[in-house]
Amino acid sequence: MSQTEKRAGLLRRTSSSKKPLKEKVVLMYEDIFAEEPTKSNPRFWDELFLMKVNLEYLEGKLESLDGDEVLRVKDNINSLFQHCVQALAEEHQIKVVNALQTLCALFRGVHQKNRSATGFDIINMLMGFDKAELRMKELMESLDALLCGDGSQSLKSLCLKLLLCLVTVTDNISQNTILEYVMINSIFEAILQILSDVSSRAQHGYDAVVLLALLVNYRKYESVNPYIVKLSIVDDEPTLDGMGRVIHHALAEYNRQYKEKEEENQGGFFSTLTSMVGSMFIADADEKLSVQTNEAILLALYEAVHLNRNFITVLAQSHPEIDIATTPAVPVPASPLTPLGTTPPSLDMMNNPELPLDPNLQTSNLLITFLKYSSIVMQDTKDEHRLNSARLCLIILTCIAEDQYADAFLHDDNMNFRVNLHRMPMRHRKKAADKSNPSRPLVCAVLDLMVEFIVTHMMKEFPMDLYVRCVQIIHKLICYQKKCRVRMHYTWRELWSALINLLKFLLSNETILLSKHNIFQLALQVVNLFNMFITYGDTFLPTPSSYDELYYEIIRMHQVFDNLYCMVLRVSTNAGQWKEPASKVTHALVNVRAIINHFNPKIESYAAVNHISQLSEDQVLEVVRTNYDTLTLKLQDGLDQFERYSEQPREAGFFKELVRSISLNVRKNVSLSTMSQDVLLKEFSSIS
């Protein structure tokens, strides 16, 4: 990214009308870069922070310094930094505001200047190496005090912006050495406090959550990150719930925007046209529908789900879909936030956040919103961003599917929800009427989403790893059902036919796919899913007839399995890199083949005896039912075992890249000047 562009983004407001006429503050900056500023004016520092900050000038100046100048003015910059930190403790709020903004300019300017420089050099230039630890300690303590104090909300907002700015000054967060001090002087508690409080959460929740997600990713794999440790043990429900709500809100907002655009596009003439002409225009429509995805929030959700086991409960915490922003941020009555029901509950019972009474509001929870979000994101995985988002969604779902508690509520028969997943408009199917969608346990929605993904992504740019994750998620859910004997009334048939179609696709595109992917791994997983149903179906299928249907589906599509068998047999007999994976698939197919070989002759003879050319479904089922007893199956090992998700080492690269892209994005969007000086002045003039 170019610097000009960035600056433009940063300074859009202030840069408009500033012309040669030099402001007082610029003169003062010049003093700093020229000489010992206090020499001419002993009250220089006092005055400086009363001046409105000129970010543009300051950053530009810092960037333009060359090596010699840096050495010369280093002491002055150190001094400026020191005075900024001191000013944070000032009572005069204007000074605090200006100091915060100056600090931000300092961090940015110095980093812009020294792209290639080591972290030590930067620290040295800003604070002086010997003082660094002390300065940063003071800085973090001041920020913590500001964030936790009762002060102005705008100030808190600025503090968070400064922190975001500091965290994202480097492209690779792990190379940002200054963060080492943020690790030592933790602001974790301040972030939690913001999230636990209703009003502050509404205003700063988003920034706080993003900040936390980024901090957790600092040197995640190389050292002990205290934020990881702390995040993993948070068990205060209001706080976790607050975090969940911030994420929920962000995702729901995305869903809403998407839906609005979708409706816009479908209005009137256009929609009739699309439906008439077919899918030609749909590609266009999709382009328009792309709303910027929000990986930062998704990362936060991932870290919360992955690191903190108590957060899982938040996923199921149902509440009506409310817009956090629109709920009036009424300052919570003086009573401090009640710590977990141990205080007299009267206090918190009384300010029970009453849910708005709107019959049209669907009750929702974070998981439902997340599933909807995923369904949108997964529709289009062509562009890199969305592919990554989809991948992250599937990783999160993997973590959820592995969690015992999450599985419990996913399968809870008493928690039924309508989840309207977004479905990609496709030529060969009509857009399902959403209203008919029944209320079901949440696991059905997850399975629906997986099925939807499977049927909609059989394309040339085959997202192999997403498919693998997808099938793994299904497998994990079924393992839970088998173990706990949960019988879901799910239309398993849709899943079976989707899986068989997937195998079909793999077969027909064998040559193209094999050049890039190990398709045998995926085929093995799919076949093993069938093996789960065949050998353990008695433990989790809802009815005996669903077991019959499974056989029917296999027999009906036996061609696919036959072809698969031929293919894997061929590959496994040839020497080559795929020999072993292919032979695994041959072994896995033994039961499917046994079924096909057992029933096909029976069906044929039935047809012959009864002189029917084409058997109806019921007739086939009848044959199946009467011929079970002569069929012997082989019990395969380890069908209900799975490898648990682990971020390291497999996903480390993905997350590094993800965090890098998030950092760039956040840096681009953090704008200190969004809050105009006027607003601040107005707010603080009365105070001071």
Partner 1 sequence: MGDTELELSPAQLEELQKSPSASSTSSTSSLSLPSSPSSGPRPLTSSSPSTSESLPTSSPPLDVISEGVGELSLVIDTEVAKKACQEVLQKVKFLKADGEVSSASSEPVLVNGTAHPESTDGGKPPKISQEEAELVKNVRRRQKNNSSKQSWLLRLFESKLFDISMAISYLYNSKEPGVQAYIGNRLFSFRNEDVDFYLPQLLNMYIHMDEDVGDAIKPYVVYRCRQSINFSLQCAWLLGAYSSDMHISTQRHSRGTKLRKLILSDELKPSSQRIRREVPQPPPSCPPPFHHGQGMSEHSLSPSKRTHQRSKSDATVSISLSSNLKRTASNPKVETSQDEDLSSSSDSLELEAGTPVRLTPQREFIKSLMGIGKRLATLPTKEQKTQRLISELSLLNHKLPARVWLPTAAFDHHVVRVPHTQAVVLNSKDKAPYLIYVEVLECENFETSSVPVRIPETRIRSTRSVENLPDCGITPDQRASSFSTVPNYDNDDEAWSVDDIGELQVELPEIHTNSYDNISQFSVDSITSQESKEPIFIAAGDIRRRLSEQLAHTPTTFRRDPEDPSAVALKEPWQEKVRRIREGSPYGHLPNWRLLSVIVKCGDDLRQELLAYQVLKQLQIIWEQERVPLWIKPYKILVISSDSGMIEPVVNAVSIHQVKKQSQLLLLDYFRQEHGNYNTEEFLTAQRNFVQSCAGYCLICYLLQVKDRHNGNILLDSEGHIIHIDFGFILSSSPRNLGFETSAFKLTSEFVDVMGGLDGDMFNYYKMLMLQGLIAARKHMEKVIQIVEIMQQGSQLPCFHGSSTIRNLKERFHMNLTEEQLQVLVEQMVDGSMRSITTKLYDGFQYLTNGIM
Hey, which residues between 196 and 235 contact partner 1 (CB under 8 A)? 196, 219-224, 226, 228-230, 232-235
- Segment contacting partner 1 by CB under 8 A, of 27-35, 175-183, 286-294, 386-394: 175-183
Instruction: Work out whether 186 is an interface residue with partner 1 (CB under 8 A).
Output: yes
Q: Are 546 and 495 in contact (CB under 8 A)?
A: no
- Segment contacting partner 1 by CB under 8 A, of 163-171, 348-356, 372-380, 423-431: 348-356
| Closest distance of CB 320 from partner 1, Å | 7
| Closest distance of CB 662 from partner 1, Å | 20
Q: Show the site string, 491-530: x = touches partner 1 by CB under 8 A, - = not.
A: ----------------------------------------
List beta partners, residue 320. 363
Query: Can you tell me which of 104, 299, 312, 554 binds partner 1, judged by CB under 8 A?
Result: 312
Q: Are 127 and 136 in contact (CB under 8 A)?
A: yes
Query: Can you tell me which of 28, 89, 117, 183 binds partner 1, judged by CB under 8 A?
Result: 183
What does the block give as tokens for 250?
């962000």
| Closest distance of CB 503 from partner 1, Å | 21
- Helical ranges in 114-197 per DSSP H: 119-127, 132-148, 153-167, 179-184, 188-196
Q: Which is nearer to partner 1, 158 or 595 (CB)?
A: 595
The C-alpha atoms of residue 104 and residue 544 are separated, in whole angstroms, by: 67
| Closest distance of CB 498 from partner 1, Å | 23
Instruction: Work out whether 349 is an interface residue with partner 1 (CB under 8 A).
Output: yes
| Closest distance of CB 307 from partner 1, Å | 7
Q: Which is nearer to partner 1, 118 or 676 (CB)?
A: 118
Report the site for partner 1 in 138-157 (rule: CB under 8 A): 144
Report the site for partner 1 in 266-295 (rule: CB under 8 A): none
Query: Cis omega (within 30 of 0) on the bond before 320?
Result: no
Q: Which is nearer to partner 1, 63 or 412 (CB)?
A: 412
- Segment contacting partner 1 by CB under 8 A, of 106-114, 308-316, 566-574, 667-675: 308-316
Report the site for partner 1 in 17-36 (rule: CB under 8 A): none
| Closest distance of CB 175 from partner 1, Å | 11
| Exposed/middle/buried for residue 239 (C-beta within 10 Å: 0-12, 13-18, 19+) | buried
Report the site for partner 1 in 90-129 (rule: CB under 8 A): 119
Three-state secondary structure call for residue 569: helix
What contacts 325, CB < 8 A, 6 or more positions away? 202, 249
What contacts 447, CB < 8 A, 6 or more positions away? 474, 477, 490, 495
| Closest distance of CB 348 from partner 1, Å | 6
| Closest distance of CB 355 from partner 1, Å | 7
What contacts 573, CB < 8 A, 6 or more positions away? none
Relative orientation angle of helices 198-216 and 226-233, to the nearest 10 degrees: 130
Phi and psi at residue 130, in whole multiples of 5°? -70, -30
Relative orientation angle of helices 590-610 and 544-556, to the nearest 10 degrees: 90
The C-alpha atoms of residue 268 and residue 256 are separated, in whole angstroms, by: 20
Report the site for partner 1 in 357-416 (rule: CB under 8 A): 357, 359, 362-363, 365, 402, 404-405, 408-409, 412-416
- Segment contacting partner 1 by CB under 8 A, of 49-57, 532-540, 574-582, 661-669: 532-540
| Closest distance of CB 83 from partner 1, Å | 24
| Closest distance of CB 50 from partner 1, Å | 31
| Exposed/middle/buried for residue 68 (C-beta within 10 Å: 0-12, 13-18, 19+) | exposed
Report the site for partner 1 in 619-658 (rule: CB under 8 A): 628-635, 637-641, 644-648
Q: Which is nearer to partner 1, 223 or 272 (CB)?
A: 223
| Closest distance of CB 119 from partner 1, Å | 7
β-strands 416-417, 440-441: how paired?
antiparallel
Scored b (16 or more CB within 10 A) or e, 558-587 reads bebbbebbebbeebbeeeeebeebbbbbbe
| Exposed/middle/buried for residue 454 (C-beta within 10 Å: 0-12, 13-18, 19+) | buried
Report the site for partner 1 in 578-617 (rule: CB under 8 A): 595
Query: Can you tell me which of 3, 38, 335, 343 binds partner 1, judged by CB under 8 A?
Result: 343
Q: Which is nearer to partner 1, 221 or 288 (CB)?
A: 221
Instruction: Work out whether 133 is an interface residue with partner 1 (CB under 8 A).
Output: yes
- Segment contacting partner 1 by CB under 8 A, of 66-74, 310-318, 454-462, 601-609: 310-318
- Rounded to 5°, the CA angle 97-103-108 comes to 130
Q: Which is nearer to partner 1, 225 or 389 (CB)?
A: 225
Q: Which is nearer to partner 1, 507 or 624 (CB)?
A: 624
Query: Can you tell me which of 337, 603, 621, 664 binds partner 1, judged by CB under 8 A?
Result: 337
Q: Which is nearer to partner 1, 416 or 605 (CB)?
A: 416
Q: Show the site string, 433-452: x = touches partner 1 by CB under 8 A, - = not.
A: ------x-------------
Q: Show the site string, 44-63: x = touches partner 1 by CB under 8 A, - = not.
A: --------------------
Q: Which is nearer to partner 1, 332 or 408 (CB)?
A: 408
Instruction: Work out whether 130 is an interface residue with partner 1 (CB under 8 A).
Output: no
The C-alpha atoms of residue 210 and residue 163 are separated, in whole angstroms, by: 11
Q: Are 475 and 526 in contact (CB under 8 A)?
A: no
The C-alpha atoms of residue 257 and residue 270 are separated, in whole angstroms, by: 19
Query: Can you tell me which of 344, 608, 686, 688 binds partner 1, judged by CB under 8 A?
Result: 344
Instruction: Work out whether 177 is an interface residue with partner 1 (CB under 8 A).
Output: yes
Q: Are 206 and 250 in contact (CB under 8 A)?
A: yes
Q: Which is nearer to partner 1, 433 or 635 (CB)?
A: 635
- Kindly state the number of chain residues that form the binding site for partner 1, as judged by CB under 8 A: 112
Q: Are 466 and 381 in contact (CB under 8 A)?
A: yes
Q: Are 548 and 595 in contact (CB under 8 A)?
A: no
- 3-state SS, 40-70, equals HCCCHHHHHCCCCCCHHHHHHHHHHCCHHHH
What does the block give as tokens for 49?
């922070």
| Closest distance of CB 340 from partner 1, Å | 5
Query: Can you tell me which of 109, 205, 238, 463 binds partner 1, judged by CB under 8 A?
Result: 238
Q: Are 645 and 398 in contact (CB under 8 A)?
A: yes
What contacts 82, CB < 8 A, 6 or more positions away? 127, 131, 135
**Which strand (E) or helix (H) includes residue 679?**
helix 677-685
Name the residue with tokens 């963060």.
179
Q: Which is nearer to partner 1, 223 or 676 (CB)?
A: 223
